[in-house]
Structures are given as C-alpha cells and as structure tokens.
Amino acid sequence: MAEFTMELSDEQKEVRDWLHGFAADVIRPAAAEWDEREETPWPVIQEAAKVGIYSLDFYAQQYFDPTGLGIPMAMEELFWGDAGIALSIVGTGLAAVGVLANGTEEQIGTWIPQMYGDANDVKVAAFCSSEPDAGSDVASLRTRAVYDEAKDEWVLNGTKTWATNGGIANVHVVVAVVDPDLGSKGHASFIVPPSTPGLSQGQKFKKHGIRASHTAEVVLDDVRVPGSCLLGGKEKLDARLARAREKAEKGGERVKNAAMATFEASRPAVGAMAVGTARAAYEVALEYAQTREQFGRPIIDNQGVAFQLADMRTSIDAARLLVWRASWMAINGKPFTAAEGSMSKLFASETAKKVTAQAIQILGGNGYTREYPVERMHRDSAIYTIFEGTSEIQRLVIARTLAGMPIR
C-alpha cells in the first residue's frame, strides 16, 4: 500500500508537465472555436492520439498509479485546458472502463482497440446508461435486453440519454435490464458493434456548457447483438443473477449499498475535472487583477478583489486535497466510511461554480464577454454539480452514510 503524500514523484511531475503543455499549446487555443461550433473536435483528439494521450495505455498507466493520483492529476490538467475538449478526449474512457471491468479477455482485446482507432483514424466510444426517466435512480432503468436462445442473440429496446459520443461512436456500451425484479442488480452491459441495425442517434443536445463534447440520445429499436457481446458472458451473468436473488432474499438493502459503493469510487475523477476548471478561471482572474488598473493602481490592491482571490485559491486547494484523499483511499481499498468520494465531488463541483462566477465578477464587463475565457469556464462548470450524481445526491449519500442509513 502506497503511503499518502502530497509530494508528487519526479515521474508524476514529468507527466503533469507534459499534460499541461498539451493543454496549453493544443487544447486551450482551440477552445473558443469548438465551443462556438458545438462539434466534436476531431483534429484535437487526433493530436492527442499522436502524442499518446488519447489511448487506453495512457489511462491504464494513470489508473494503476499506486498513489491513486495519476487520474486526478491528468484530469485536472486536461480540464484546465478546456472542459468541453477534455471531455471529448476522456469520454471514450467511460466505455473502455466498462469493458475492462466486466468483459472477458477476448472482449477486451476485440473491442477496446476499436473504441480508440489509431492516430490516423481516431474513433470514439459511448457509454450509455442514463435514461429519460432514470438518471440518479439507476434502479429505474427501462431499456430491456431479452435473450433469443434459438439464435444466441440479445435483443435490446429502449432509449438512452445524456450519452457522451452517443450516436457518433464506433462502439456503444449499453446498460440494460435483464431481470426487472432485481433492480440495479438485474442489469447487464452489452457491446453494440459498429453499424448495428436498429441503433440510431436521437436528439443531439444543445448545451449550456461543455459544448465541444457531443451529447445525445441513443435509440435502440430491436437491436440484435450476438451472445458474445454480453460483457462477461452468459454463464457469468446467470451465476451473478442467481447470487443476487439469493442475497436479495436475505437482505436486499445490503446488496443495494454495495452497488452504491462502486459508484462512490468514481466520483473523485469528476472532482478533479472541476478543480482544473476552477484553477483555470482563478489564474485568469489573478493575472487580470494584477494588470488591470483603476484609479491609478492595479485592482488587486483593492481589498475586495484581493480577498476574493484569497478565498478562490483556498477553496481550490481544499477541493484538490479532498480529491487526492478520496483517490488515494480508493486505489488502496480504504472504505469510504464517511462518503469521502461524494465529499470530494460535491465540494470540488460547488467550488468550480463559485470560483468561475467570482472570476467573471473580477473581470467585470470583460468577464461577461466571450473575448475572455472565464465566461465559457463558468458555463462549463455548471455540469459538475449535475453529472455523476447531482450535488443534492452527493449530500444525500453523505448524510445517509454518516447516519448509518441505507443509500437508495
């Protein structure tokens, strides 16, 4: 087990500086253009693939960092560059992790390379879980998967929403209900290969922020996939469902809490994204306050501005520390007895919204225009308190955990 430290190793610093350079030189100069276009920034993703950032190998290396800081460090630097473009770069990772966590070696070797493509022909993947009537309440999913034993095929029907890369992905990973009586334990994940009949893109959302990231509905109309596309395989699924039925009979609440604990471990990464956006806005505001003069002196000389910057920096550092703590706990198997994963996501998300709003205020009228990036950063920051569980859900998880109550 790696000891907790706030000092990055030389190797970690090298990776951090490399990512920061890419974010500064490639992502940030392109941010305003792709935000206006509201399109997937394929040229930037291709550049990321060329240097090795857009690849499973890179994210695997960061994920298995024994300190737990590899992923939050990478997320902070990329999202410091721009949240929308960064999400386009890391969004495929959601689907890849789904396959890594549940798939067989053969499925991993077959499908993950097709998710990324290569530097000359980049591809993206989509993880499709949320539905119009089931966001935070994952037990309410309605998309069904029915097994056709005669043809050894699964038939998928339903509508997914808020899918990053939904409809434009080369490979879709779809979470569907196979046993409605088991709630979230009756779910399974399926690969939908490229050009499968019946899968189509529904509404593409025109969003308030992260506009360079493609978000859309995915419609599944009698989508047939081979039995080999069930992640983990039929035998493993049948065994898991049998165990779930047995556990549900003995104590269903305990089973449900175990599922929530899995969600909890992924939330620090979103917190790190929020830290990156907050830090970017703070740095713009600090530089502006040091150079902008009013009444014959830089505005940072005014206590009202200086104190805002002090609070902004303090909140950002506190958010990062919460993210790092939760990330270290997760990689080392430490239980989140106080919902530390939700704490990190909640505080970092709220910090990003507050800090970006303060940055606009410090820049005044300039901050309200698109000539300066803080306006875009403020719009982008709103998503952090919504996806991967809203701030209200995080507070519910924390409160129920502290009280020893079941998390529904």
Catalytic residues: 388
Contact 253, 260 (CB under 8 A): no
For 42-50, the CB contacts below 8 A with 24+ separation are: 42/122, 44/85, 44/88, 44/89, 45/88, 45/89, 45/122, 45/124, 46/119, 46/122, 47/22, 48/22, 48/89, 49/116, 49/117, 49/118, 49/119, 49/122, 50/119
State how far the alpha carbon of 227 is from the alpha carbons of 152, 153, 306, 389, in Å.
Answer: 5, 5, 62, 32
The secondary structure of residue 198, as a DSSP letter, is T
The two structure tokens encoding residue 5: 């430290």
| Dihedral angle computed from the Cα positions of residues 230, 241, 407 and 388, in that order, rounded to the nearest 10 degrees | 0
Provide the token pair at 353: 């919204």
